[in-house]
Amino acid sequence: MREILGRRRKLSLRRSGRSAVLTAALAYATEWQWPVVPGVGLLAGDGREPDCACPHPDCAAPGGHPFDPGLLAATTDARMVRWWWTQRPDAPVVLATGGRAPCAVSLPAVAGARALASFDRAGVRLGPVVATPTRWALLVAPYSLAVLGELLHSQDWVPGSLRFHGEGGYVALPPSPTGAGRVRWERAPQPPAPAPAAGSARTVRALRARAAEPAPPWLPDISTLVDVLVEESAGTPGGGSKLAY
């Protein structure tokens, strides 16, 4: 497994000698069972903007995409995750979307801010939202290509700036360093709603014990979000055509 050499920086946040990125990667993989893989990372560049460590000079997602290892290597195995980020402590954390893992919808940051404001006014509950200075991504429950196709077919027009990260896709997670800036939570993950405590005392104790265990964040269904996301992306000045994430 060949390592892609990139710029390494010490992160200010350390926990038990771990980098902040390794701590986050282990939590995603082991507590939430989200399959992750290290991103390709960044080179020092010419002092202006960091360059992607991949061989493509016009990379659309500098530093924040998988390369070696590839996306198919994404795993929830703690030993593999620990080995990867011990070797490359500043490598971005890349989530392999789809399957049992979350999917995502990303859009330009301006359109994302407008969409979140619209959801808040309507009282729509959102899941985690990750952000860089250029784009925001809303994590959603896994969806199939058939379901997505039906949802988009009902739209008059879907702007190219709106991107869907389903099976075979990926999203960089906080606190990953990327060419677009460090990835952060615009909306932090929230725990799933607790199940109603009903039934026998034994059942109640079992529910409480289950609630105390680590659980993945709550995720909305894409069908509740897509209309607003399309509308706000289409209304972005300039068509919202900037795709770099």
Whether residue 102 contacts residue 218, with contact meaning beta carbons closer than 8 Å, is answered with no
List b or e across 70-81, with b for residues whose CB sees 16 or more CB atoms inside 10 angstroms. Answer: ebebbbbeeebb
- State the sign of the Cα–Cα–Cα–Cα dihedral 86, 75, 32, 34: positive
CA distance 135 to 153: 24
* Residue percentage of the chain with pLDDT more than 90: 71
Angle, helices 109-122 vs 226-234, to 10°: value is: 140
How many other CB atoms are there within 10 angstroms of residue 236's CB atom?
20
Which helix or strand (DSSP H or E) is residue 212 part of?
helix 201-212
The answer to whether residue 135 scores a pLDDT higher than 50 is yes
What is residue 45's predicted lDDT score, i.e. its pLDDT?
59
Q: Which of 11-20, 69-78, 166-175, 194-203 has the lowest mean pLDDT?
A: 11-20
Preceding peptide of 50 cis, ω within 30°: no
Residues β-bridged to residue 19: 14
Q: Which residues make Cβ contacts (< 8 Å) with residue 183, sequence separation at least 6?
A: 64, 92, 130, 131, 132, 172, 173, 174, 175, 176, 177
CA distance 121 to 40: 39
Q: Which residues make Cβ contacts (< 8 Å) with residue 5, sequence separation at least 6?
A: 43, 53
More confident residue, 219 or 14: 219
Q: What is the pLDDT of residues 69-92, one digit of tens each?
A: 999 999 999 999 999 999 999 999
Q: What is the pLDDT of residues 36-69, one digit of tens each?
A: 999 999 987 555 677 899 999 889 899 999 999 9
Preceding peptide of 38 cis, ω within 30°: no
